[in-house]
Amino acid sequence: MKKILYTLAALLFCTVASADNSTKTYTVTVAYDGTKAVVSIPEAITDYVSCPSGESSHVKLLQTSTTEKNPGEIIYSLSGQSDNGEFYLTGEYKATLLLNGLTLANPDSSAVHIKDGKRIKVSMAANTVNTLSDGMADSTSKGCFHSKGHTEFAGKGTLNVSGNFSHAIYSKEYVEVKNCTLNITSAKKDGIHCQEYFLMSSGVLTIKGAEDDAIQVELKDSVSTGQTKDHEDEDSGNFYMNGGTVTISEIGGYCVKADGSIMFSGGTRNFDTNNIKDHATTAIRGIVNSQSGNRQYYYDLNGRRMSNDAVLPRGIYIVKEGDKARKIMVK
């Protein structure tokens, strides 16, 4: 009986330890001070994170793996001030940037440049004000805040972003805004430029002084997935506003421009909702019958039949003619 109890206790311990390891988080701190920055990396993750930039205010962190294990969530806590610095991160793990009273300007390129294709959460610490500004963009920089992965802005603080040579915020994948206060104070191009989709769910977003569009959403690939459940693996080019407050003023282009659809289901819109443009305004063809005389039926990728009097927006469609079906692309 005792042997059985010991065995059960050992199994329980292993299960708890395994669960703890799988949810473990580590925090790398970066404290800027003028032309220097102090970077502290926990010893437990020195196999995964390194800092070849030393004490330079142009901080470069590399996320690499020397083993097959995943270290879990890594938090990068950024604080302090530098008018000649940057935060540059490469890697292959999900990460969180905790902005904890950061003022960072880079006269040569992006203030924050994330070359990590995973989920990047940008959290503003409660009651803090954080400010980013950039300088002359290099060939790899497309925004004052440049992210290769999908980017989620959250938290209970404020982030001010000024893009002096390109977009203020650029993300190669989707952008979501929740709870935080995000202010785009200027942009040489778009205020926010992203791919896949944009979601405003809560919080406050203000865009002022963008010389092109306030928000532009592109398809990442040539074929749209359409809207998916919980936006899982979605690449639709859609703009969604479910809540929060969006204020847009003094821009040179559209308030919202999207390769997909623009959908409002909640929130407060302090901008001209007539100054928007989505794929429906670029339709270039109608539905016609084939030259053979057989009736053609058109369906979108969700299986919905299109009216034969409709003008097809840009996208992928299924054409059924008799017992045959084929895909077509409307450009």
Closest CA to 181 of 205, 145, 151, 152: 205
Q: Does the global pTM surpass 0.85?
A: no
Distance from C-alpha of 315 to C-alpha of 288, rounded to nearest angstrom: 17
Say how many CA atoms lie within 13 Å of 232 toward its Cβ: 2
Count of beta carbons in the 10 Å neighbourhood of residue 269: 17
What does each of the 331 residues of the chain score in pLDDT, given as a tens digit? 444 443 333 333 332 233 334 467 899 999 999 999 999 999 999 988 999 999 999 999 998 765 567 677 799 999 999 999 999 999 877 889 999 999 999 999 999 999 987 889 999 999 999 999 998 766 678 999 999 989 999 999 999 999 999 999 999 999 999 999 999 999 999 999 999 999 999 999 999 999 999 999 999 988 889 899 999 999 999 999 999 999 999 999 999 999 999 999 999 999 999 999 987 543 333 444 444 455 677 777 777 777 655 556 667 777 777 667 776 766 5
**Structure tokens given for 298:** 């058109």
Distance from C-alpha of 117 to C-alpha of 283, rounded to nearest angstrom: 32
- Helix boundaries (H) for 39-160: none
